[in-house]
Structure 1
Amino acid sequence: MTSYSVDYLSRLHSVVEEFETEFERWMQTQVESDHLHARGLLPTVWTKEGQNESKVRLLELSVAEAAGAAAKAVAVTGAYIAVAGLGAIDPISNWSMMRHPKAVVSPHDVRSTAATVKGRLKGLIEEAQATEDSGVPAFAPSQLHQLIWAAAADHWTTHQRRVAVREAAEALSVDWKTRLGRNDVDDTVFWQQTLSPGEPAQGKPKLAWPGNPSDKTVKSMRGGLEPMAKALTHLATGLNLTVRNVTTHTREELSEQEGIERLAAYSYFARLLDQCEIRHAEYEVEE
């Protein structure tokens, strides 16, 4: 189910189509390349010779306006792409990055994202129609933590809820293990070591609640840091064992309610982690 109305989702579908139209009009004035030929150094588009610069600028403004309207559709559907060093980005909002050196977005990325968004919106529209007919209260999964929804959305919108939960769990672990350089341990051990109380060891950074220790409020928070860390450790370990591992080793499909409850748990956990600071062992240099 979705908390968005059929009318709203249909309008999002229309603005994505409008973006596609404006984008292709502009692309007619551009030389198109891709990541392979750009080699991570060059733009993936550049203006064709002989084009009227004023006309090109007007077309760019039209694309920018259409992209602004279509950006919400990406957020609703979770159709982000993963870019090394940047995380999840929206190719539609960032279409202009194609013109820059070391472009991380290509025309194919933009077109593929627009097509994916439209496909997911069609599925959400069908669900919204069913919800309106049933009168059952709905929720908005797109309001989950961005990392969680981006990983789960593709499978969730095709009703593969077990896979959606598994992918969300994996994405959260991979994201933090990559950030902390801890690909040397499995997920459960990683969370236990990363969120346990005490000082970090060499090569094993930890996450801790932030704040200036001289601030009275922060002092109070620091007094609760150890139980908070223990709670986070238990939450991470519990989620990993009872949710991720179970959904990985069974083929029994989750109900919609079961799936959203599990995704919500990961979303809440992800937001807690976002508020923590990374602590390294003394004299250890952060790369």
Structure 2
Amino acid sequence: MATYSADYLKRLLAAVEWFEEVFGRWMETQEESDHVQSRGLFPTVWPKDRQDQAAVRMLELDVAEAAGAAARAVTVAGAQIAVAGIGVLDPIENWSLMSAPKALFTPQEVRTTAAKVRGRLSGMIDEAEAVSESAVPGFAPSELHTVIWTAAAAHWTTHQYRVAVREAAEALTVHWKGILGRNDVDDTVFWQQTLSPGEPDSGKPKLAWPGDPTDKTNRSMRGGLEPLAQALKNLATGLNLTVRNVTTHTRDELTEQEAMERLAAYSYFARLLDQCEIRRAEEDEGE
């Protein structure tokens, strides 16, 4: 049995409610009959006398548009009607057949179908929300930081998890070396210089957490921003030693779970870096 998200079901429900609204407005311009009165030979609806035909045609277009949006809901809710000699049909999608000779549906059957669909969708929404609340949150690698996932994706999809992690780690370093113009230094030294506390030297810009370094009320770090700068440098060094170097200099494969954890660590690090300010030496500012 197919399962649907609560959001999708709510959109279907809104489409059905819209159909009911415009269908009701159109029916105000129509005479209504049923199969007994029409004897199975005539339409079950026809325009009332002295109606503005242009207005009626506009209403019919509204109903047609609403029916198109709501038609999927009938299938999802399983509310089709079996018509003898023809098969199973959707009364909402085929509402216009009421105006044809030997009409297959009556207005009341269309209304009943819409009401039934609303009821079933409401129950399905409740069930979908209950399942969502009880489900364990999923983890989607594609939602990781763009730099990390872009580098890892091609290898991840072929189950080369160690290579995926290695490429992600390399990509983050290459990304920031390019932004800061620091292709003159090895990776470990680059992070040590870029994230070290203090003012930047000429030609060696730094990434710093925004704010006044002496402000000890800053909630980013209890002791002020100076310890946070050191923490970022330590995080970069730790990831380089425990993840990047291991995946580069060994051939030990990683499991999917192990690789996800390592990519998540780099993704978090990448997002922290995005929040940092680039600080350059005064003599470099005008270049």
Mark the structure with the bigger radius of gyration. Answer: 2
- After TM superposition, the score normalised by the length of structure 1 is 0.49
Q: Which has the higher contact order (CA 8 A, sep 6+)?
A: 1
If the length of structure 2 is used for normalisation, what is the TM-score? 0.49
